[in-house]
């Protein structure tokens, strides 16, 4: 018999609404995740502790684990704690670093993970990827199980700093550049494109292209949350970060390596995506630039605290961060001098 469909890993439940955290205990039971609340709740600094205080009375059998930072060491320490107990699932509550630690630890411990996001800074809230630092502060990406449920409480998101929202917008919009790079790989190397993964990635990003920049509204927060969740699903469908990661992320990884903790991930990939679109000359540059401007997201190296020389150095290093990935950077194969010329032209184009 012919195969008529394929199985796609995705969360059992996705809840994006005001007051979603209060419904977490019911979601766990109704989703057959943990009827009696035997879960390990992983919380980071900030709003995560406040969320725990809200849900703990309804999860009488939960065990609270506090984590700090987004490192491999923190995740491995959490794994040992998880193995000492008996849990139906891991519930990660907080920002991206906390969720990545929880995702990685849950995967190693063989437990399903529920993602409860208190901000919308990047697409890690629903992705099968964890970005963690090693002992020397270098970031690496690790494949993990996709969350079994995703909860975004808009009441908490509304209280997050606007720079976190701008970071999330930058991460979501960078999908469009990543998809254009994937198409280059198909043209030059006959790399297959997963149409469903590409559709998810594009469907999340495009509503942000022309939306009014009302960063404080629930409607905007819902649109951004949908975009970040769809990015996660795109990666799950593709089995890699390919639909959401091209030259934009290569440049961001290089910035992380050369200039650690320079800027947020989302704003770095936004600048990387805009520069890559400038190099491709495919018509995306003007549209993407207008959207980033409208939302107040970084566009220039200076917006990241980098001068043109530093940004050029990151562009030169970028291809080495993902040797298996083919993007506009690999197609052009620019040397240091040519890269510096392109960066100067790019900055001039935006300044004028």
The strand ranges marked E within the chain are 13-17, 39-43, 63-66, 89-94, 113-117, 129-133, 139-143, 149-153
Q: Give me the mean pLDDT over the 113-135 stretch.
A: 91
Q: Is the pLDDT assigned to residue 1 strictly greater than 60?
A: no
CA distances to 140, 255, 305 from 177, in Å: 21, 18, 22
Q: Give me the mean pLDDT over the 129-137 stretch.
A: 86
Ranges of CATH 1.20.1090.10 domains, the chain: 162-351
The rounded percent of the chain whose pLDDT value lies above 70 is 99
Nearest residue to 145 via CA among 105, 183, 86, 118: 105
- The pLDDT, as a whole number, for residue 94 is 87
- With contact defined as beta carbons under 8 Å apart, do 193 and 134 qualify? no
Ranges of CATH 3.40.50.1970 domains, the chain: 13-157
Fold of the domain spanning 13-157 = Rossmann fold (3.40.50)
Q: Give me the mean pLDDT over the 294-314 stretch.
A: 97
Average pLDDT, the chain: 92
Q: Do the bridges between strand 39-43 and strand 13-17 make them parallel or antiparallel, or are there none, so unpaired?
A: unpaired
The pLDDT confidence band at residue 27, using thresholds 50, 70 and 90, is: confident
- The pLDDT, as a whole number, for residue 174 is 98
Q: Give me the mean pLDDT over the 248-267 stretch.
A: 95
Q: Is the pTM of this model over 0.85?
A: yes
Cα–Cα distance, 22 to 45 (Å, whole number): 20
Cα–Cα distance, 167 to 278 (Å, whole number): 20
**Residue 337 CB neighbours (<10 A):** 9
- The pLDDT, as a whole number, for residue 2 is 60
The architecture CATH gives domain 162-351: Up-down Bundle (1.20)
């Amino acid at each position: 018999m012919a195969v008529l469909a394929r199985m796609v890993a995705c969360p059992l439940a996705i809840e994006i609404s005001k007051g979603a955290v209060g419904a977490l205990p019911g979601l766990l039971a109704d989703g057959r995740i943990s009827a009696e609340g035997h879960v390990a709740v992983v919380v980071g600094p900030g709003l995560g502790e406040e969320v725990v205080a809200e849900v703990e009375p309804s999860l009488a059998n939960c065990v609270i684990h506090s984590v700090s930072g987004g490192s491999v060491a923190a995740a491995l320490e959490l794994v040992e704690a998880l193995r000492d107990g008996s849990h139906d699932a891991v519930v990660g509550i907080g920002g991206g670093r906390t969720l990545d630690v929880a995702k990685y630890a849950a995967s190693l411990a063989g437990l399903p993970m529920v993602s409860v996001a208190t901000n919308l800074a990047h697409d890690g809230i629903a992705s099968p990827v964890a970005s963690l630092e090693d002992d020397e502060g270098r970031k690496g990406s690790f494949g993990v199980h996709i969350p079994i449920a995703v909860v975004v409480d808009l009441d908490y998101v509304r209280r997050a700093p606007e720079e976190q929202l701008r970071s999330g917008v930058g991460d979501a919009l960078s999908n469009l550049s990543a998809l254009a790079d994937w198409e280059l790989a198909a043209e030059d190397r006959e790399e297959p494109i997963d149409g469903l993964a590409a559709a998810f990635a594009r469907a999340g990003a495009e509503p942000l292209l022309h939306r009014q920049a009302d960063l404080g509204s629930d409607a905007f927060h819902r649109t951004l949350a949908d975009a970040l969740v769809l990015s996660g699903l795109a990666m799950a469908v593709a089995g890699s970060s390919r639909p959401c990661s091209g030259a934009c992320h290569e440049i961001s990884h290089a910035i992380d390596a050369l200039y650690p903790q320079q800027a947020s991930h989302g704003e770095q990939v936004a600048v990387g995506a805009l520069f890559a679109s400038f190099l491709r000359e495919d018509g995306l540059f003007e549209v993407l630039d207008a959207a980033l401007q409208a939302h107040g997201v970084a566009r220039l190296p200076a917006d990241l605290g980098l001068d043109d020389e530093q940004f050029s150095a990151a562009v030169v290093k970028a291809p080495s961060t993902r040797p298996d990935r083919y993007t506009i950077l690999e197609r052009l194969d620019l040397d240091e001098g040519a890269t510096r010329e392109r960066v100067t032209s790019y900055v001039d184009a935006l300044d004028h």
